[in-house]
């Protein structure tokens, strides 16, 4: 099958959960939706052996990753603490991402116009194909999110949604995990 190069495959994907931390989620209006979609993606990633990396921005002040997401992380998921806004600034992050051997990077988390945007642009510059999940990212202000997504698209980053990611990973209703994963979306 001749597949379009921008369609995701589970075998070539890695996912990064950016700063979905308790003190940040407390000031976001979309927290429940973001955590719900992130949870679906994490469960699908775990079932399809998609590696996941997690970052936490200054966890001493902003808290740790939301518990609801921690419980859904695949085993041995690395969590990187950072003070820089781009995930690439976190000690060991870029090396860990390179070590996955994956070239399609799915980003979700907070905030779209700061940490997600800077990470996406740097990863794109490093040669990765970057996909930002629009319904699993947020900013304190909706306009900031919308302009960040527009800017990212202008820079060659693919703006997608959680269901598109999952169905691209599955590719076919005959996939052995299709029924289990599609049940998550109901």
Check: CB of residue 77 under 8 Å from CB of residue 148: no
Quickly count: other Cβ atoms within 10 Å of residue 32's Cβ.
11
Q: Domain segments of the chain: what residues?
A: 13-184
This prediction's pTM: 0.96
Between CA 70 and CA 73, with CA 72 as vertex, the angle to 5 degrees is 70
pLDDT in tens, 83-139: 999 999 999 999 999 999 999 999 999 999 999 999 999 999 999 999 999 999 999
* Residue 19 known to be catalytic: yes
Catalytic residue among 35, 87, 88, 115: 115
Which one-letter DSSP state was computed for residue 3?
Answer: -
* Residue 172 known to be catalytic: no
pLDDT in tens, 104-115: 999 999 999 999
* Residue 35 known to be catalytic: no
Two tokens, residue 155: 């820079």
Distance of CA 52 to the CA centre of its chain: 8
- CATH number for domain 13-184, candidates 3.40.50.300, 3.40.50.850, 3.40.50.920, 2.30.30.60: 3.40.50.850
Catalytic residue among 19, 72, 87, 145: 19
């Amino acid at each position: 099958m001749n597949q379009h190069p921008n369609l995701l495959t589970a075998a070539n994907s890695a996912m990064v959960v950016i700063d979905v931390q308790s003190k940040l989620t407390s000031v976001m209006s979309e927290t429940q939706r973001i955590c719900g979609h992130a949870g679906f993606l994490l469960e699908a990633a775990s079932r399809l052996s998609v590696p996941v990396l997690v970052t936490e921005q200054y966890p001493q002040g902003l808290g740790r990753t939301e518990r609801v997401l921690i419980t859904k992380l695949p085993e041995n998921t690395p969590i990187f603490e950072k003070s820089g806004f781009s995930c690439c600034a976190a000690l060991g992050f870029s090396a860990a991402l390179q070590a996955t051997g994956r070239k399609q990077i799915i980003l979700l988390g907070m905030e779209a116009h700061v940490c997600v945007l800077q990470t996406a642009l740097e990863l794109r510059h490093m040669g990765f194909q970057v996909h930002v999940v629009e319904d699993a990212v947020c900013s304190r202000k909706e306009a900031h999110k919308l302009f960040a997504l527009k800017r990212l698209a202008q820079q060659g980053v693919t703006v997608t949604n959680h269901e598109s990611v999952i169905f691209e990973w599955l590719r076919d209703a005959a996939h052995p995990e299709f029924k289990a994963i599609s049940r998550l979306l109901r």
